[in-house]
Amino acid sequence: MPHRLRTSCGAKHKEVLVSASPSTTERQSPSQPPTPASGGPATAILRTVDLTKDFRGFTAVNSVNLEVADNTIHALVGPNGAGKTTLFNLLTGFLQPSSGQILLRGDDIAGKQPEQIAHLGVARSFQITSLFDEMTLIEHLELALASPTGLGYKFWTSRKQLGQFKARAMELLDQVGLADRAGVRAGSLAYGQKRALEIALALANDPSLLLLDEPTAGMGLEDVDRTIELVKKVSGGRAVVFVDHNMHVVGSLADRVTVLQSGEVLAEGTYERVRSDERVITAYLGETNDGDGHH
């Protein structure tokens, strides 16, 4: 039965009825928990323990215990203001936690700076604002590869030095389907292609944990489906955590889903399980009724 959930296809945060049937070409069935063939518990690449972020008395992330198994795709969903972006910022060091732990392969990375966390193999998709319209795609990739952390660009790097990254840069462009656009300026790309370029940049340092913040936001249906396939493709050999409001994307990609509400974990499990959870349905319906008047 379709639920009223939110999708970001075309217009951000548009309310629609979504029957969210998962794609048949999943890399792993979302109805199956991400356990290895041995049947034992999957190794957690990332675990947060009572992770909390207060903003002057307002608790945006409240005692969150999140566990992301290695080699899985994990979705973070939740209504507006649930704390998803704050959690992402904590995981990548852009915000410092008020309390709690962030364990990356068992080591606490809470308190580390974004560059240090990137150096440990955690990458976050660049936002479009980080692209330079006048630079070509290959130049973007070469500069990202020249940076040891993949964060930021070193404009003083000489053309000759950059040349050594050309082959790898082309490989990355090929991976995201942009090899034939290598020499064009980023400013001339269509929106979906710019998002694909951001993913290529995030892959530059071969991260073991890739964080994608709303990879399909603002896309039309065709680009959404292309992005789903792209995320499946680049998820091989690493863990991916993504935030998305589009339940078709979540259902198609996620091995596990964590639902946040008011900074707390409301539900966690397979997509099939959380989408039929009464508390989750109520949380989204509540948002609809409290929100912009859609019922």
Ligand X SMILES: Nc1ncnc2c1ncn2[C@@H]1O[C@H](COP(=O)(O)OP(=O)(O)OP(=O)(O)O)[C@@H](O)[C@H]1O
Neighbours of 205 (CB within 10 A): 19
Report if residue 288 touches ligand X, rule: CB under 6 A.
Answer: no
- Least Å distance, CB 81 to ligand X, is 4
- Residues 160-189 binding ligand X (CB under 6 A) are none
- Residues 79-98 binding ligand X (CB under 6 A) are 80-86
- Read out DSSP for the chain? --EEEEE-SSSTTEEEEE--PPPTT-SS-TTS----TTSSPPPEEEEEEEEEEEETTEEEEEEE--EEETT-EEEEE-STTSSHHHHHHHHTTSS--SEEEEEETTEE-TT--HHHHHHTTEEEPPPGGGS-TTSBHHHHHHHHHHSTTS-S--TTS-HHHHHTTHHHHHHHHHHTT-GGGTTSBGGGS-HHHHHHHHHHHHTTT--SEEEEESTTTT--HHHHHHHHHHHHHHTTTSEEEEE-S-HHHHHHH-SEEEEEETTEEEEEE-HHHHHT-HHHHHHHHHHHHHTTS--
Q: Which is nearer to ligand X, 43 or 80 (CB)?
A: 80
Please identify which residue in 9, 46, 60, 274 interacts with ligand X, judged by CB under 6 A: 60
CB 246 within 8 A of CB 7: yes
- Least Å distance, CB 83 to ligand X, is 4
- Least Å distance, CB 126 to ligand X, is 17
- Least Å distance, CB 213 to ligand X, is 9
User: What 3-state class would DSSP assign to 79?
Assistant: coil
Binding window for ligand X (CB under 6 A); candidates: 24-32, 38-46, 74-82, 232-240:
74-82
Distance CA 98, CA 172 (A): 37
Report if residue 58 touches ligand X, rule: CB under 6 A.
Answer: yes
Q: Which is nearer to ligand X, 55 or 191 (CB)?
A: 55
- Least Å distance, CB 245 to ligand X, is 7
Report if residue 66 touches ligand X, rule: CB under 6 A.
Answer: no
- Least Å distance, CB 22 to ligand X, is 22
- Least Å distance, CB 32 to ligand X, is 27
Binding window for ligand X (CB under 6 A); candidates: 76-84, 170-178, 227-235, 266-274:
76-84
Q: Which is nearer to ligand X, 176 or 266 (CB)?
A: 266
Please identify which residue in 11, 55, 154, 174 interacts with ligand X, judged by CB under 6 A: 55
Instruction: Note the residue count of the chain.
Output: 295
Binding site for ligand X (CB under 6 A): 55, 58, 60, 78, 80-86
